């Protein structure tokens, strides 16, 4: 079977718990009104109480403006709309004590879990940190496959980051504070925890099924914590059918077990259930999304309580975000559209990945324009645009294949995202799907959501930054990207983001410098048209699909 045919959540590596898994009108109206008022008041009261408790906890010690601890929570594949499924008192308290970005976006291709977490940690794009997605072809024609625990445990991800010379949150934090501890954890997503921690993290832990039919924590070799952490009480569960929210809760418990024993300064947590099963299996169905968000809010409250008991909550900066968006899959494009375009050109694919975009690495690169043209000629209404890579004396770039009707603003936005992985390992051909559409491979026919491409659903993410040195009760409309998270978080600690491409989000800082404000203003001038074009194109795609 040709590489790339297997989707990231199919096969034997899937955790077992994922596989199995009339009264009178006046009276009714009166009761409904009273009940509705009760819900509103109780929700408001819950948020208010959580906020006041948060404030009281922050005031237990002398207020500070520079944090000493960092907690990054990545709700894998979470949609911004989930954050409005209240009541979420602890999350809302963070928002009231910080800044929220309503136009944050991944800003990279591929918009996948490994590359997204690498962008968060490295403050850079895949073009700089080298991590393109799950699978790609390196410049020496070797295949890189990261949906493989053995490959990751053997250092596959860290070798990529090291070869690229990428700085990380862990490396820069430990360079400034050599005795600091950095811990990264996940549920089953070893391919999220490892890039999030990177080569310099002290402990990188995730969950896996054991021979004793339990679901228990393990660690990436070279980043193994003391046994007292992995064996702490309450961290293991039966491996058959975890209820919704438990896997995320276990990841948080694992991080807390580490904190209570080694008191790490940096805690990086991937919460996988927003991606799988919520996004892919259920298409972000709102009842389940609310269940997960409320469970997350309780877990957040637990973290805050532990940090408060340790006397460091008022010294802790929080970042809550996602590694990529999640697009609904209402329209499926057979993967044969890409396969046929390749074979009709008389060549083969070294690797093809299928998501809300198609990425093709060709055996014969000279036939790149032909393959791109063949995809255009297939005239599938759910393919938005096709680009192919060209090499010139000035360097590599992507060209829009002829015969398409793509407006200049959309083309500019697409080119901006394409540039994020434009390097020696970038694919020869890229086919972007329209909003709510995606290429479907064998085994993924029942999926209701996906990501990976440039459409707004795949790109739009939540982002909250809160804590010492951060402005309070602000909603920013500035475009913020994954690569901007590390420089901004590090800036709160007075650490320069050396060798990072991202920009400090100056509007998040209580006391930004003039250069930081000028840099963000310049970035916003460039990125606002990109974000607007992606959002506008999404609406045009949805309107066009509704007419079919």
Q: Widest CA span of the chain, in angstroms? A: 80
pLDDT at 444: 83
pLDDT at residue 261 in the model: 97
pLDDT of residue 384: 96
**pLDDT by residue (tens digit) across 235-252?**
999 987 899 999 999 999
Mean pLDDT, 10 residues at a time, the chain of 548 residues: 44 44 37 45 51 49 79 98 95 97 98 98 98 94 94 96 97 97 98 98 97 95 98 92 95 98 98 98 97 98 98 97 97 96 98 97 97 97 97 91 95 98 94 97 90 98 98 98 98 97 98 97 97 97 85
- The 3-state DSSP class for residue 327 equals strand
Q: Which domains does the chain have, with CATH numbers?
A: 46-328+460-524 (3.40.720.10), 331-456+528-547 (no CATH)
- Output the pLDDT for position 16: 46
Task: Give pLDDT, residue 15.
Answer: 52
How many Å apart are CA 68 and CA 70, to the nearest integer? 7
b/e code 359-386 from CB counts within 10 Å (16+ = b): bbbbeebebbbbbbbbbbebebebbbbb
How do 182-185 and 266-271 pair as beta strands? parallel
pTM: 0.90
**Cis omega before residue 193 (within 30°)?**
no
Question: CA torsion, points 464, 467, 468, 473, in degrees to nearest 10?
Answer: 70
Distances (CA, A) of 310 to 60, 174, 218, 493: 11, 22, 26, 20
């Amino acid at each position: 079977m040709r590489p790339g045919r297997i989707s990231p959540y199919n096969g034997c590596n899937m955790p077992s718990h994922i596989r199995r898994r009339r009264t009178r009108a006046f009276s009714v109206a009166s009761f409904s009104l009273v009940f509705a008022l009760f819900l509103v008041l109780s929700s408001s009261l819950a948020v208010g109480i959580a906020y006041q408790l948060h404030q009281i906890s922050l005031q237990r010690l002398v207020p500070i403006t520079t944090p000493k601890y960092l907690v990054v929570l990545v709700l894998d594949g979470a949609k911004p709309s989930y954050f409005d499924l209240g009541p979420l008192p602890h999350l809302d308290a963070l928002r009231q004590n910080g800044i929220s970005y309503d136009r944050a976006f991944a800003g990279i291709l591929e918009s996948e879990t490994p590359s997204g977490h690498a962008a968060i940690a490295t403050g850079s794009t895949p073009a700089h940190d080298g991590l393109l997605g799950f699978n790609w072809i390196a410049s020496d024609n070797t295949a890189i496959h990261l949906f493989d625990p053995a490959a990751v445990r053997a250092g596959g991800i860290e070798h990529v980051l090291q070869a690229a010379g990428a700085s990380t949150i862990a490396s820069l934090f430990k360079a400034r504070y050599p005795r600091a501890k950095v811990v990264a954890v996940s549920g089953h997503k070893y391919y999220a925890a490892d890039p999030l921690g990177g080569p310099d993290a002290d402990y990188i832990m995730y969950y896996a099924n054991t021979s004793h039919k339990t679901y228990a924590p393990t660690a990436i070799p070279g980043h193994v914590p003391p046994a007292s952490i992995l064996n702490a009480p309450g961290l293991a569960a039966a491996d058959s059918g975890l209820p919704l929210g438990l896997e995320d809760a276990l990841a948080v418990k694992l991080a807390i077990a580490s904190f209570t024993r080694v008191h790490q300064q940096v805690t990086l947590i991937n919460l996988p259930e927003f991606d799988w099963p919520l996004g892919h299996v259920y298409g972000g169905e709102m009842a389940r999304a609310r269940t997960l968000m409320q469970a997350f809010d309780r877990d957040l409250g637990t973290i805050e309580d532990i940090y408060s008991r340790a006397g460091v909550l008022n010294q802790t900066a929080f970042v809550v975000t996602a590694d990529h968006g999640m697009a609904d899959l209402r329209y499926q494009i057979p993967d044969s559209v890409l396969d046929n375009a390749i074979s009709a050109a008389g060549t083969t694919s070294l690797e093809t990945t299928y998501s809300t975009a198609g990425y093709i690495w060709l055996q014969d690169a000279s036939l790149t324009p032909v393959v791109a043209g063949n995809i255009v000629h297939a005239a599938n209404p759910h393919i938005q645009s096709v680009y192919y890579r060209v090499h010139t004396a000035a360097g590599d770039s992507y060209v829009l294949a002829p015969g398409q009707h793509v407006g200049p603003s959309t083309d500019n936005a697409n080119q901006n995202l394409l540039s994020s992985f434009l390097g020696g390992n970038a694919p020869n051909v890229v086919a972007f799907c329209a909003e709510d559409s995606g290429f479907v491979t064998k085994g993924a026919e029942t999926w209701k959501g996906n990501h990976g491409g440039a459409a707004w659903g795949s790109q739009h993410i939540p982002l909250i930054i809160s804590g010492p040195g951060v402005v309070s009760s602000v909603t920013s409309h500035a475009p913020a990207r994954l690569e901007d998270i590390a420089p901004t978080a590090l800036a709160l600690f007075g650490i320069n983001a050396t060798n990072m491409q991202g920009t400090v989000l100056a509007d998040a800082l209580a006391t930004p410098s003039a250069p930081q404000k000028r840099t963000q203003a310049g970035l916003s001038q460039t990125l606002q048209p990109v974000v607007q074009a992606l959002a506008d194109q999404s609406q045009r795609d949805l309107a066009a699909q509704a007419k079919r």
